[in-house]
């Protein structure tokens, strides 16, 4: 992500919305450790999330970036923050058996008298139990609030600039799927095809360079596809098996994940029946996905289409997407599933996942889309039907 993609006014608006949410929760100082949220607030971009780092947002003033010493130049280059607001922790504390980087964060917070009303993203991949222990020991349990999802929810409605970046990611996704269809043939080791598709996503298109996506390609075949998150292996592509690929182009950290199913030979009746249910579900969902509708009302389109075809879907069928880092391109807020009564708004973006997994095979045809007053609009243009090679 490049901070130059966005105006200072857009960043100011993001800070204002986040501070309003902080105030409603009684948080004076927010410690943001999710790299997606760090980037959204400041533009910071770097493969540094394997060590402790944070953006610290107080109720007033500029945010602070805090991280490893050797990552500080990256913060200066990629964020909009003034160098005076970049802070680092001692290099010797990297994976140290006794000293922890959060010891230096405690010192920084004390120096600024930001020691009450602390918010932390407790249920987050990048905030460890050891980090929390250091803060709790220093300041006490009662001053720390769980701020999981606080920034994520502010990201739900996309700006016009964000949508433009996601559509560029969609162009990369379409390019990757075109490469996939061209290279898909009987007997080809799957890892060779995946390598070609990944290369296409990074090489991109003229004037449109790709980035690394938040999730590795999902690429199971046959019985493997009964599991929803299998990656790839070196087994040759085989006649009579369905293979689905869940891949995403990534542009300046924005994603547009798309799944498609491919088949060598003639697809059996049950897979064709499932395909019909999925295609109907997508069209029904797009018609229903208008501002003011709840997540569960949108999701019902998928479950009803599957039920009519004689299938039962036991998992959620979609989630918000946008800016992200490994290990997930979802925004970790809403879910398209029964019981989620969150109301969708114009310019929210989702990955619709009407996938179907049986004990013998799996089929996934998915779409990334944006909410408009006219319904859901796909962010990429890729043929949906099962791609069949009658080998």
pLDDT in tens, 230-267: 999 999 999 999 999 999 999 999 999 999 999 999 99
Q: Average of pLDDT values for 205-222?
A: 97
Query: What percent of the chain shows pLDDT beyond 90?
Result: 95
Q: Report domain extents, the chain.
A: 3-154, 160-389
User: What global pTM score does this model have?
Assistant: 0.96
pLDDT, residue 385, reads 98
Q: Which residues pair with 54 in a beta bridge?
A: 66
Answer yes or no: is pLDDT of 167 > 80. Answer: yes
pLDDT, residue 2, reads 64
**What CATH architecture applies to the domain 160-389?**
Alpha-Beta Complex (3.90)
With a CB cutoff of 8 Å and minimum separation 6, the contacts of 93 are 99, 100, 101, 103, 104
Q: How far apart are CA 67 and CA 48, in angstroms?
A: 8
Answer yes or no: is pLDDT of 58 > 80. Answer: yes
Q: Is there a contact between 356 and 277 (Cβ–Cβ < 8 Å)?
A: yes
Answer yes or no: is pLDDT of 143 > 70. Answer: yes
Q: How far apart are CA 44 and CA 35, in angstroms?
A: 8
In the sheet that holds 318-320, the strands lie side by side as: 318-320, 349-352, 367-372, 375-378
Question: How many Cβ atoms from other residues are within 10 Å of residue 102's Cβ?
Answer: 25
Q: Average of pLDDT values for 118-128?
A: 97
> What's the pLDDT tens digit per position in 310-347?
998 989 999 999 999 999 999 999 999 999 999 999 99
Q: How far apart are CA 332 and CA 349, in angstroms?
A: 13
Answer yes or no: is pLDDT of 95 > 90. Answer: no
pLDDT, residue 381, reads 97
CA angle 159–163–167, rounded 5-degree value: 170
Fold of 3-154: Creatine Amidinohydrolase; Chain A, domain 1 (3.40.350)
Q: How far apart are CA 380 and CA 168, in angstroms?
A: 9
> What's the pLDDT tens digit per position in 146-165?
999 999 999 999 999 999 99
pLDDT, residue 288, reads 98
pLDDT, residue 4, reads 85
Q: How far apart are CA 365 and CA 386, in angstroms?
A: 8
* Phi, psi of 144, rounded to the nearest 5 degrees: -105, 125
Answer yes or no: is pLDDT of 292 > 80. Answer: yes
> What's the pLDDT tens digit per position in 7-34?
999 999 999 999 999 999 999 999 999 9
């Amino acid at each position: 992500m490049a901070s130059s993609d966005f105006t200072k006014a857009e960043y100011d608006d993001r800070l204002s919305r986040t501070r309003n949410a902080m105030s409603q929760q009684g948080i004076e100082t927010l410690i943001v450790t999710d790299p997606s949220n760090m980037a959204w607030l400041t533009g910071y971009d770097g493969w540094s999330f394997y060590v402790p780092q944070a953006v610290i947002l107080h109720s007033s003033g500029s945010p602070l970036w805090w991280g490893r010493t050797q990552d500080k130049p990256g913060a200066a280059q990629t964020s909009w923050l003034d160098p005076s607001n970049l802070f680092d922790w001692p290099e010797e504390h990297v994976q140290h058996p006794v000293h922890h980087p959060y010891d230096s964060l405690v010192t920084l917070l004390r120096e600024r008298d930001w020691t009450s009303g602390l918010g932390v993203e407790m249920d987050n991949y990048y905030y460890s139990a050891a980090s929390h222990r250091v803060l709790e020991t220093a300041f006490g349990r009662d001053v720390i609030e769980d701020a999981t999802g606080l920034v994520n929810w502010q990201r739900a409605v996309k700006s016009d600039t964000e949508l433009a970046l996601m559509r560029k990611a969609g162009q990369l996704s379409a390019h990757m799927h075109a490469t996939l269809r061209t290279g898909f043939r009987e007997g080809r080791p799957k890892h060779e095809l995946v390598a070609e598709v990944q290369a296409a996503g990074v090489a991109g298109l003229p004037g449109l360079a790709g980035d690394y996506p938040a999730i590795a390609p999902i690429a199971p075949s046959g019985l493997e596809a009964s599991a929803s998150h299998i990656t790839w292996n070196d087994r040759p592509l085989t006649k009579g098996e369905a293979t689905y690929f869940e891949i995403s182009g990534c542009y300046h950290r924005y994603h547009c994940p798309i799944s498609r199913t491919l088949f060598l030979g003639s697809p059996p009746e049950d897979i064709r029946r499932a395909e019909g249910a999925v295609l109907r579900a997508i069209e029904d969902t797009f018609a229903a996905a208008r501002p003011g509708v709840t997540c569960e009302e949108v999701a019902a389109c998928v479950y009803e289409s599957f039920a009519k075809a004689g299938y039962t879907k036991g998992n959620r069928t979609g989630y918000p997407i946008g800016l992200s880092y490994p290990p997930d391109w979802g925004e970790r807020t809403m879910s398209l599933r029964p019981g989620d009564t969150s109301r969708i708004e114009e310019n929210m973006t989702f990955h619709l996942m009407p996938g179907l997994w049986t004990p013998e095979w799996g089929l996934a045809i998915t779409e990334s889309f944006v909410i408009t007053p006219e319904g859901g609009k796909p962010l990429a243009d890729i043929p949906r039907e099962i791609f069949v090679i009658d080998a």
